[in-house]
């Protein structure tokens, strides 16, 4: 299960989603600007408040990090 | 795995306003043009909430302007690759090689338009609280602090524009300014002064942040009296200027003492066939309009250089 916690206007968030699209993997987008509860989940899963946060299996990736995303996808 | 070699007319490194404009002109000149972008297409514009000083658009969001520029460049035929990162470059008068994760490109000319990145706040706890109250992208992370007190550090237009964006979500925004003036546009300052939940703290310097794992207080010092005060807040957004992205090129390309790439008025660097455009270039004013101008000149000069070289080779 892949989740991308993001906000609509953020460049790195768009880049994560576009990259996952090029990899042909399905993911769920959680738009965290919409609800306090979702923002608290960002904090809970990543220990910080910057988006995007991408969860791929057990991996938690902060920001756009191609290498980390590739490695996490391999482990699925 | 052996990487495939590819010959190409022009590689533009960076897809901000300078690089995208160069891409528009180069493609319209029928140059085979590839724009490589490690970071975000649109550059700093993409992270700006609104732009009010780019001719033709009285007010436009950064996202919209960036997307329009990108669409125009690709519409003219430029190819943008934002996922194949540059690993190393060789840039000499006789040889230009750009090696990415997937390819070894041999371009006839190169335009460096990598731009600049936000300068980190020079406080001891910057790294410790990064993402935990220290931030640099208001449109990305501002909503995490809805209803809270937020600090903004900086004195340029970016600091003021982003403070106005943050004031829409925050209970209060405190702009921390080292001097008693701003170097932002006068009109923007007036707009900021009219926002009821923005307070400007002149003559104060942020010296550190403290808190239990997350920022809870800012320590600021009066620059004239040295008095230190604590301000309870949940986040600080830093807009204290930028630093050029030149690490890849330094072995080949001359930079000034300030770290920005040197060029003449035609955007020519010290290497023939290598041009520079936008915020990464040594110059006085860094605006979208000046980046666009640089990109235009660099592309036209690159086209001339490529054409002359092709004719000489006949």
Considering the domain architecture, whether residues B261 and B225 belong to the same structural domain is answered as no
- Indicate whether B206 and B164 sit together in one domain: yes
pLDDT of residue A76: 83
* Chain A residues within 8 A of B144 when measuring between CB atoms: 32, 39, 42, 49, 51
Mutate to test the interface with A, among B50, B143, B166, B214 (most CBs of A within 10 A): B143
pLDDT(B203) > 90: yes
Do B230 and B249 reside in the same domain of the chain? Answer: no
> How many domains are contained in chain B?
2
Query: Which chain B residues are Cβ-neighbours of A45 within 8 angstroms?
Result: none
- Please identify, among B238, B255, B270, the residue that sits at the C-terminal boundary of a domain: B238
Q: Structural domain of residue B290, as residue ranges? A: 4-117+242-313
Domain end position, chosen among B238, B256, B273: B238
Cβ distance B124 to B209 under 8 Å? no
Residue A38 has pLDDT above 80, yes or no: no
Average pLDDT over residues B114-121: 94
Q: Which CATH number covers residue B226?
A: 3.50.50.60
A50/B143 Cβ within 8 A: no
Query: CB neighbours (10 Å) of residue A16?
Result: 27
Given an 8 Å threshold on Cβ–Cβ distance, is A62 in contact with B61? Answer: no
Question: Distance between CA A20 and CA B244 in Å, rounded?
Answer: 29
Domain ranges of chain A: 2-74
Which tokens is A39 given?
């923002």
Claim to verify: residue B82 and residue B54 sit in the same structural domain: yes
What are the pLDDT digits (tens) for B181-192? 999 999 999 999
A42 contact residues in B (CB cutoff 8 A): 144
Using one digit for the tens of pLDDT, what is the confidence trace for B254-300? 999 999 999 999 999 999 999 999 999 999 999 999 999 999 999 99
The rounded mean pLDDT for chain A is 92
Q: In terms of DSSP bridges, do strands B149-153 and B172-176 run parallel, antiparallel, or are they unpaired?
A: parallel
Does B110 have pLDDT greater than 80? yes
The yes-or-no verdict on residue B166 having pLDDT over 80 is yes
Report CA Rg, chain B. Answer: 21
Residue A48: its pLDDT value, please? Answer: 94
Widest distance between CA atoms in chain B: 72
Q: Are residues B230 and B124 in the same domain?
A: yes
Is B141 part of the annotated catalytic residue set?
yes
Cα gap B207→B197, rounded to integer Å:
23
| pLDDT tops 70 at residue B1 | no
* Beta carbons of B132 and A12 less than 8 Å apart: no
The shortest C-alpha distance from A16 to chain B (Å) reads: 10
Vertex A41: Cα angle to A38 and A47 (nearest 5): 140
Show Cβ contacts of residue B282 under 8 Å, excluding neighbours closer than 6 positions. B255, B256, B258, B260, B261, B262, B263
Contacts of B168 in chain A (CB under 8 A): none
Residues 11-50, chain A, touching B (beta carbon < 8 A): 11-15, 18-19, 22, 32-33, 36, 39, 42, 46-50
Quick one: tokens of B182?
């701003």
What pTM does this model have?
0.91
Return the pLDDT at B49.
Answer: 85
Return d(Cα B305, Cα B108) in angstroms, integer: 9
Contact B121, B218 (CB under 8 A): no
pLDDT reported for residue B147: 93
How much of chain B exceeds pLDDT 90, in percent?
Answer: 92
Give residue B48's pLDDT: 87
User: Are residues B211 and B148 part of one domain?
Assistant: yes
Whether the Cβ atoms of residue A27 and residue A41 lie closer than 8 Å to each other: no
Q: Are A16 and A4 in contact (CB under 8 A)?
A: yes
* Domain termination site, one of B189, B222, B238: B238
Q: What is the mean pLDDT of chain B?
A: 96
Output b/e per residue, A18-41; b: 16+ Cβ within 10 A.
Answer: ebbeeeeeebebbebbeeeeebeb
CATH fold, domain A2-74, is Glutaredoxin (3.40.30)
Contact A50 B140 (CB under 8 A): yes
Residues B10 and B113 in one domain: yes
Q: Which of B140, B146, B235 has its CB closest to that of A10?
A: B140
Question: Same structural domain for residues B247 and B305?
Answer: yes
Q: Which residues of A touch B131 (CB under 8 A)?
A: 46, 48-50, 62
Q: How far is CA B86 from CA B26, B81, B201, B307, in A?
A: 21, 11, 42, 26
The residue among A48, A51, A54, A65 with the most chain B CBs within 10 A of its CB, best to mutate, is A48
Q: Which candidate in B141, B203, B205, B279 is catalytic?
A: B141
Whether A34 shows a pLDDT value over 80: the answer reads no
Residues B68 and B215 in one domain: no
């Amino acid at each position: 299960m892949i989740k991308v916690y993001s906000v609509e206007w953020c460049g790195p968030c768009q880049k994560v989603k576009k990259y996952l699209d090029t990899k042909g993997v399905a993911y769920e987008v959680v738009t965290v600007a919409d609800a306090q509860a979702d923002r608290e989940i960002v904090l809970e899963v990543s220990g910080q408040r910057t988006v995007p946060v991408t969860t791929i299996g057990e991996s938690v990736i902060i920001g756009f990090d191609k290498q980390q995303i590739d490695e996490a996808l391999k482990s699925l | 795995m052996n990487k495939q070699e590819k010959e190409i007319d022009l590689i533009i490194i960076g897809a901000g306003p300078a690089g995208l404009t160069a891409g528009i002109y180069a493609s319209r000149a029928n140059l085979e043009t590839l724009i490589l972008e490690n970071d975000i297409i649109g550059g700093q514009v993409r992270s700006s909430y609104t732009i009010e000083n780019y001719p033709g658009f009285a007010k436009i969001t950064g996202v919209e302007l960036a997307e329009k520029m990108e669409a125009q460049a690709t519409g003219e035929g430029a190819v943008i690759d934002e996922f194949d990162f540059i690993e190393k470059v060789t840039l000499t008068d006789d040889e230009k090689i750009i090696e990415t994760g997937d390819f070894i490109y041999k371009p006839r000319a190169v335009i460096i338009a990598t731009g600049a990145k936000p300068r980190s706040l020079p406080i001891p706890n910057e790294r410790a609280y990064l993402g935990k109250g220290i931030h640099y992208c208001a449109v990305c992370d501002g909503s995490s602090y809805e209803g809270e007190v937020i600090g903004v550090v900086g004195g340029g237009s970016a600091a003021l524009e982003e403070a106005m964006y943050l004031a829409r979500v925050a209970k209060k925004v405190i702009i921390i300014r080292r001097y008693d003036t701003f170097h932002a546009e006068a009109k923007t300052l007036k707009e900021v002064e009219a926002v009821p939940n923005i307070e400007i703290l002149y003559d104060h310097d942020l010296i550190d942040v403290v808190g239990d794992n997350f920022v809870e207080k800012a320590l600021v010092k009066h620059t004239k009296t040295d008095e230190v005060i604590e301000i309870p807040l949940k986040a600080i957004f830093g807009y204290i200027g930028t630093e050029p992205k030149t690490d890849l090129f330094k072995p080949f390309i001359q930079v000034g003492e300030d770290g920005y790439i040197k060029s003449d008025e035609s955007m020519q660097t010290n290497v023939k066939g290598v041009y520079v455009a936008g915020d990464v270039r040594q110059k006085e004013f860094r605006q979208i309009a000046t980046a666009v101008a640089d990109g235009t000149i660099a592309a036209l000069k690159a086209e001339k250089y490529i054409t002359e070289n092709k004719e000489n080779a006949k």
